[in-house]
């Protein structure tokens, strides 16, 4: 089945017809039994599956901070990323929409470092995903109702964020920097030390765990290279645990810990070979623990949660009506929905390597659809070859020394469909597509996948550069947001842009902080006014004027 760009655009138009006004969010949701405008902190570590934490079982290291945090929070056992890699997943988190439905599904769309010569396919042009009319990053809604929003410091949303999204986004961004100590805050702290790259970047640092004591998963040979690389990864996790403790201690020292809602999670599964980028649970399943004054500490929640649910959940907790543009559902707060039945995930281009894979899970059974079955499972991603274990696996493959389960990654083709019982087969080795007793489940999940594609659309069906040129009106250059219109009357400034859904920010010459424009505001004649209009996916249009 094929979906054209026009069909996708029509689907978006339908989805956005009931959006709330982009100029002002609705604080119309009662927060009865919930705190009003609570402080919210996200602690996000990169590239880590749940089992490395003692609270989720452990693999040989020690994580005392997060193990204690588990006793003070709700621990989720079925939380999933929407991709096995960061940028598409982060696009989903920040918008509350599946990355495949907004053209943010390929890894990655924006520029990489200058030495990443093999990062993109031939004739590729970097771009910001163009969000549909009416959609914006959820922190902007928080700012509109008075929150101080900070991001420390990774964005990686597949688009350039407008200046209106964060009060601060840098490696110094912190809730402590808010001008009013009583101002509510939403603060994100991204911890990079567990990222894939740190396995080789920290290769010569001392290990905190004995390689002989670590758990070796069956996708790897149990030998010295596997054990040392895993020990390096677990050591990084242990250091990450210490960093989490420092963030928690800052909240305690300020007297804010008890009443702050704290999310701890990872941006997808492990950063190790045959984990990261895959749609098996080892690439998608994440640790998620949430502490809040209204949640019972030390409890376990087995409901399905997806990254697409994070944005609507934050709006629910803040008392903001969830926008129709968001495709997820709140799992906390006054707008909490019934538990979801399925979670969905996608894999598309990874650096220079093109593939298209989709997955749906009911928490136990996982259905995978390979749209390019003639392509091999393994992709020769140059970046990953920095990992000594990846090089080792390739050598053992060439020598014919891998087990059948390990070798299947290097098969030249893959089945069109895969079905796994992750409860009895957690490594997803045994494909049940041809199992007579599983045909009903196969039909159910196959239909769930197709329904998902039909309802939200899937830009993965469209060649990437064709999609981008369609956004850009057939050009190879992104359009520019229309020049902001500025009027000054009776001491009040009114701002607008002819570009639909453009975010408009303004600031004084003496300030680095951009305010989100919502309504006319007072201004002194003779003062400089800086204005930026920016529709995500377009180039921003900056303007400086002297109010006369």
- What pTM was estimated for this model as a whole? 0.94
CA distance 102 to 434: 34
Work out the burial of residue 350: count CB atoms within 10 Å of its CB; fewer than 13 is exposed, 13-18 middle, 19 or more buried: buried
Q: Residues 502, 503, 505, CA angle at the centre, nearest 5°?
A: 135
Contact status, residue 257 vs residue 251, Cβ threshold 8 Å: yes
* H or E element that contains 515: strand 515-516
Q: Which of 353, 382, 389, 390 is nearest to 116 (CA)?
A: 382
Q: What is the pLDDT along the chain (548 residues), one digit of tens a residue?
A: 334 443 444 344 334 433 333 445 666 566 667 889 999 999 999 999 999 999 999 999 999 999 999 999 999 999 999 999 999 999 999 999 999 999 999 999 997 654 555 689 988 999 999 999 999 999 999 999 999 999 999 999 999 999 999 999 999 999 999 999 999 999 999 999 999 999 999 999 999 999 999 999 999 999 999 999 999 999 999 999 999 999 999 999 999 999 999 999 999 999 999 999 999 999 999 999 999 999 999 999 999 999 999 999 999 999 999 999 999 999 999 999 999 999 999 999 999 999 999 999 999 999 999 999 999 999 999 999 999 999 999 999 999 999 999 999 999 999 999 999 999 999 999 999 999 999 999 999 999 999 999 999 999 999 999 999 999 999 989 999 999 999 999 999 999 999 999 999 999 988 889 999 999 999 998 889 999 999 999 999 999 888 87
Q: pLDDT at position 14, please? A: 37
3-state class (DSSP) for residue 48? coil
The domains found in the chain, sorted by start residue, are: 5-111+128-340 (3.40.720.10), 357-471 (3.30.1120), 485-546 (2.60.40.10)
CA distance 132 to 537: 9
Residues designated catalytic:
86
Token pair 């249009």: residue: 541
Q: pLDDT at position 33, please? A: 79
Q: Which of 235, 256, 129, 125 is nearest to 185 (CA)?
A: 256
Q: Which two tokens stand for residue 402?
A: 């891998």
Q: pLDDT at position 7, please? A: 41
Q: Which of 215, 206, 194, 203 is nearest to 272 (CA)?
A: 194
CA distance 360 to 532: 40
CA distance 117 to 484: 38
Dump the DSSP string for 137-195. Answer: -HHHHHHHTT-EEEEES----SSPPPTTS-SEESTT--GGG-SSTTS-EEEEEEE-TTS
CA distance 411 to 374: 10
Phi first, then psi: what are they for 176, rounded to 5°? -65, -20
CA distance 456 to 324: 13
Q: pLDDT at position 24, please? A: 58
| Helix (H) and strand (E) counts in the chain | 12, 20
Q: pLDDT at position 17, please? A: 35
Token pair 């420390």: residue: 152
Query: Hey, how many other C-beta atoms are within 10 angstroms of the C-beta on 369?
Result: 21
Phi first, then psi: what are they for 291, rounded to 5°? -110, 130
Q: What is the dihedral of CA 37, 301, 154, 204, to 10 degrees?
A: 140
Q: CB within 8 A of 468, min separation 6: which ones?
A: 103, 125, 127
Q: Which two tokens stand for residue 528?
A: 């400089």
């Amino acid at each position: 089945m094929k979906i054209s760009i026009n069909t996708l655009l029509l689907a978006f138009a339908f989805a956005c017809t009931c959006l709330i006004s982009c100029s002002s969010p609705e604080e119309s949701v009662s927060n009865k039994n919930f705190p009003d405008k609570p402080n919210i902190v996200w602690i996000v570590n990169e590239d880590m599956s749940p089992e490395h934490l003692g609270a989720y079982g452990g693999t040989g290291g020690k994580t005392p901070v997060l193990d204690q945090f588990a006793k003070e929070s709700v621990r989720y056992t079925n939380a999933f990323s929407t991709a096995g890699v960061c940028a598409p997943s982060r696009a989903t988190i920040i918008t509350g929409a599946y990355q495949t439905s907004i053209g943010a599904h390929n890894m990655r769309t924006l520029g990489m470092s200058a030495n990443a010569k093999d990062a993109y396919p031939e004739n590729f042009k970097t771009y910001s995903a163009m969000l549909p009319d009416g959609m914006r990053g959820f922190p902007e809604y928080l700012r509109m109702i008075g929150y101080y929003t900070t991001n420390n410091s990774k964005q990686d949303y597949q688009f350039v964020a407008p200046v209106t999204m964060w009060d601060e986004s840098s490696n110094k961004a912190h809730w402590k920097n808010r001008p009013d100590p009583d101002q509510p805050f939403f603060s994100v702290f991204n911890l990079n030390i567990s990222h894939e790259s740190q396995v080789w970047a920290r290769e010569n640092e001392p290990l905190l765990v004995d390689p002989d004591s670590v758990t070796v998963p069956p996708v790897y040979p149990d030998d010295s290279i596997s054990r040392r690389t895993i020990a390096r990864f677990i050591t990084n996790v242990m250091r990450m645990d210490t960093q989490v403790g420092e963030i928690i201690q800052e909240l305690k020292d300020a007297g804010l810990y008890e009443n702050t809602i704290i999310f701890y999670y990872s941006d997808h599964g492990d950063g190790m070979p045959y984990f990261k980028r895959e749609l098996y649970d080892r690439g998608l399943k994440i640790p998620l623990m949430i502490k809040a004054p209204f949640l019972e500490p030390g409890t376990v929640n087995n409901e399905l949660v997806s990254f697409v649910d994070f944005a609507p959940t934050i709006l629910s907790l803040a008392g903001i009506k969830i926008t129709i543009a968001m495709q997820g559902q709140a799992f906390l707060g006054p707008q909490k929905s019934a538990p979801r039945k399925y979670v969905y995930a996608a894999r598309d281009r990874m650096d220079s390597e093109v593939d298209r894979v989709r997955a749906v899970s009911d928490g136990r059974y996982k259905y995978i659809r390979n749209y390019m079955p003639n392509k091999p499972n393994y992709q020769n991603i140059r970046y990953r070859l920095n990992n000594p274990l990846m090089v080792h696996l390739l050598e053992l493959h060439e020598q014919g020394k891998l087990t059948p389960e390990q070798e299947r990654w290097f098969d030249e083709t893959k089945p069109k469909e895969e079905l796994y019982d992750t409860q009895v087969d957690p490594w997803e080795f045994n494909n049940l597509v041809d199992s007579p007793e599983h045909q009903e489940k196969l039909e159910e999940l196959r239909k769930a996948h197709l329904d998902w594609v039909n309802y939200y659309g899937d830009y993965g069906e469209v060649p990437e550069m064709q999609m981008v040129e369609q956004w850009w009106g057939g050009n190879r250059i992104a359009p520019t947001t229309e020049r902001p219109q500025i009027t000054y009357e009776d001491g009040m400034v009114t701002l607008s842009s002819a570009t639909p859904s453009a975010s408009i920010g303004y600031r004084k010459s003496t300030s680095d902080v951009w305010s989100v424009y919502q309504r006319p505001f007072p201004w002194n004649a003779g003062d400089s006014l800086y204005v930026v209009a920016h529709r995500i996916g377009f180039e921003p249009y900056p303007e400086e004027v002297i109010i006369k």
